[in-house]
Amino acid sequence: MPAVLLHGNPETPVIWEPLIAQLHRTDIYTPQLPGFGCATPPGFGATKEEYAAWLTTELEAIVATEGPVDMVGHDWGGAIAMRVVATRPELFRSWATDVLGLFHRDYVWHDFAQIWQTPGAGEEYFEQIMATPAEDRVAMYEAIGIPRATGERLVAVDDAEMSRCILALYRSATQPAMVRWGEDLGPAATRAGLAIIAPNDPFVRAIDLAGEVAASLGATCHEIAGQGHWWMLGDPAAGASTLEAFWSSVAE
């Protein structure tokens, strides 16, 4: 039963490397969201539904040979993963995510998301970002919690295709779209679940909304003290121990 770790926006699988180095298991997959530092399939519209369909196909291939997975999703990787847990629970042994607050009926998208969801404003935002020198973009990532070494690798793959995918993804999730996904989460309660709470995360309402969603699914909550959105980079040892304790608690 392998573990599958799925990154979010504006990221690639490199964000998992410090955490993976702390884990004792080696049966780990880190798929890469289409368009996020890699090519997209022909005709890929980059909506949340298309990403969920893509992840379903990825997981079906893994499960066919290795059995149900322990899923770990961060940011959009967590939202997409939870959609697949809700629609195809048989693919999973367990799930863990840091974005359950997104599915709460009271969730309001953060300021960046609202810019990206606004036609014209979103395009202007990414035009300005792409015109910003790489060193300044690395500093911007560092200011929001992404270490310089990781930020340099992320900036190296920023391109117009990633910008397109981010805009399409967020526009497909304009509320009440996430509320509707939340209303469909019920089947996730049939699998062991973990809500990772990073108390300094300003984007996903982890402190006040995620716990309610977790309770509705019978999931465990665990706070990683002092951490923000990129907890797997800020304290990879704590993140690894959190996941390993959860996995060891899951009945075979």
From the DSSP assignment, how many helices (H) and strands (E) are in the chain? 12, 6
Rounded mean pLDDT for each run of 10 residues along the chain, 252 residues in total:
96 98 96 97 97 98 98 98 98 98 97 97 96 96 95 96 98 97 98 97 92 97 97 98 97 68
pLDDT tens readout for residues 26-49 = 999 999 999 999 999 999 999 999
Q: Are 108 and 145 in contact (CB under 8 A)?
A: no
- Residue 174 carries which side chain, given as an amino acid letter? T
- The residues, ordered by sequence, that sit 6+ positions from 54 with a Cβ below 8 Å of its Cβ are 33, 34, 41
What is the reported pLDDT for 16? Answer: 98
* Cis peptide leading into residue 202 (ω within 30°): no
Closest CA to 151 of 164, 165, 134, 163: 134
Which structural domains are found in the chain, ordered by start? 3-108+176-249 (3.40.50.1820)
Question: What is the C-alpha separation between 180 and 26, in angstroms, rounded?
Answer: 36
